[in-house]
Structure 1
Amino acid sequence: MSLLDAPPTSRPRSLARVLLGAILVFAGVSHLTFARQEFEAQVPDWFPVDDDPVVLVSGFVEISLGAALIGFARGRVGVGLLVAAFFVAIFPGNIAQYVEGTDAFGLDTDQKRFVRLFFQPVLVLWALWATGAWRDRRALR
């Protein structure tokens, strides 16, 4: 059996789901604490809300989504789709960082900011695969 065919509760998928959840919780906590200014720098200039509330709300959302990935194996399809949607929703911020040339998190060249853009789809696929959400999305109906 390949990793793509593995059941959603298989060890590789479960480990990937918990790891992604832990990464989201860590990122959310960092939004609220030690990396707050770095995240504020990433809020696009065109976004109509002040930077600090955006960073605070997104931090709480990340903590919530991460905790849900870790703790809600039964609701994995819905959580996986929400996490994937979250990664899609924040992608314009990554594009804006590249277009505006904003330095944050060591992304201090256009090349580094450009390469980073290719990691967002990886996160979307990770969320969908680790939860089996794409495969089992019809179960939500």
Structure 2
Amino acid sequence: MMRQLFRTVLALAYFAAGVIHIIAPRPFLSIMPDWVPVPEAVVFWTGIAEIAGAAGLLQSHSASLRRAAAIGLALYAVCVFPANINHFMLDMARPDNGAGFGYHVPRMFIQPLLVWLALWAGHVTEWPFRTQGT
């Protein structure tokens, strides 16, 4: 029951983020590292990936699709981590420190949690919880 709740909440969050990536890309473009080619396309396709991952995560009739979506969202969270680090560095270089440590430090710790949450909610891992018979 708890896993289904977290799966639904995570899917809704990724869906919302995906829509925002597509309809309002400017904030995401502003934190994109300089080495990323074609940043507009990257932001657009990351939005599509978030929406597709959210839809896949909600699949109750296809465990393999749900697991694939969970792995995809976990990999996505790893892949966008450089943009989070870049955002942190850009903000800290500003005279007013932008969003500041109170925003960026928790965000750095939340990213690995999102990786795990996608994998756990999608039934890819049971860690750290044990199921009966294990």
What CA RMSD, in Å, does the superposition of the two structures yield over aligned residues? 2.2
- 2: CA distance, partners of 1:19 / 1:114: 23
- 1: CA distance, partners of 2:33 / 2:108: 15
Question: Structure 1 residue 119 and structure 2 residue 107: aligned?
Answer: no
> Which of the pair has the greater relative contact order for Cα pairs under 8 Å at 6+ separation?
1
> Runs of 5+ in structure 2 lacking a partner?
128-134
Q: After superposition, where does 1:1-141 map in structure 2 within 5 Å?
A: 11-33=1-23, 35-47=24-36, 49-72=37-60, 73-75=62-64, 76-101=66-91, 108-111=98-101, 112-135=103-126
> Runs of 5+ in structure 1 lacking a partner?
1-10, 137-141
Percent identity over the alignment is 31
Which digits, 9 at most, give the CA deviation of each residue in 1:37-60, with x for residues without a partner?
A: 11111211222x132111111111
Gap change, CA 1:85 and 1:27, over 3 Å in 2: same
- 2: CA distance, partners of 1:21 / 1:62: 9
- 2: CA distance, partners of 1:20 / 1:109: 24
- 2: CA distance, partners of 1:129 / 1:56: 27
Shift of 1:117: 1.0
TM-score by length of 1: 0.75
Count how many residue pairs are aligned between Structure 1 and Structure 2: 121
TM-score by length of 2: 0.79
Instruction: Tell whether the 8 Å contact from 1:41 to 1:102 is kept in structure 2 after alignment.
Output: no
- 2: CA distance, partners of 1:123 / 1:99: 21
- 1: CA distance, partners of 2:47 / 2:110: 19
**Paired residue type of 1:96:** N
